[in-house]
Amino acid sequence: MTIILLLNLYMIIIYAREDFKHIGSHKFRFNDEILDISRDVNIKKAVPIQSRVNNNYENSQKLFKKYSLLKIKKMEQDNTNTQSIGYTTQDYPNPAINPELCLHNFFMKSHICDPDGILTEEEQKNLNHKLLDSNLNIFVTISQNLFVETGVSKSDAQISFANEILKKYSESFHSDYNKSILLSYVKEFGTLKIVSGEYMIGKKIKQEFIDTLEQEFQTNQKELYKSFNTVIEKLVQKIIKSDISNSFRILINKNKKYLFKLKYIQLY
Could you tell me if residue 5 is inside a domain?
Answer: no
Could you tell me if residue 227 is inside a domain?
Answer: yes
The pLDDT, as a whole number, for residue 118 is 95
The pLDDT, as a whole number, for residue 106 is 73
Judgement on whether residues 105 and 185 belong to the same structural domain of the protein: yes
- Please tell me what DSSP assigns to residue 25: T
Judgement on whether residues 186 and 60 belong to the same structural domain of the protein: no
Question: How many helices (H) and strands (E) in the chain?
Answer: 6, 7
CA distance 50 to 181: 68
Enumerate residue ranges in the chain where pLDDT < 50: 18-22, 26, 28, 30, 32, 67, 70-82, 247-252, 258-259
Domain boundary among 61, 85, 109: 85
CA distance 104 to 115: 9
pLDDT tens digit string along 120-152?
A: 999 999 999 999 999 999 999 999 999 999 999
What would the DSSP string read from start to end of 191-241?
A: EEEEEE-TIIIIIIB-HHHHHHHHHHHHHTTTSHHHHHHHHHHHHHHHHHH
Judgement on whether residues 142 and 199 belong to the same structural domain of the protein: yes
Judgement on whether residues 63 and 97 belong to the same structural domain of the protein: no
Judgement on whether residues 156 and 229 belong to the same structural domain of the protein: yes
Q: 177 with 139: CB under 8 angstroms?
A: no
Domain range enclosing 153: 87-255
Could you tell me if residue 42 is inside a domain?
Answer: no
Type of residue numbered 182: L
Judgement on whether residues 76 and 92 belong to the same structural domain of the protein: no
The number of residues making up the chain comes to 268
Judgement on whether residues 116 and 186 belong to the same structural domain of the protein: yes
The pLDDT, as a whole number, for residue 220 is 84
Could you tell me if residue 2 is inside a domain?
Answer: no
CATH of the domain at 251: 3.10.310.50
Number of domains in the chain: 3
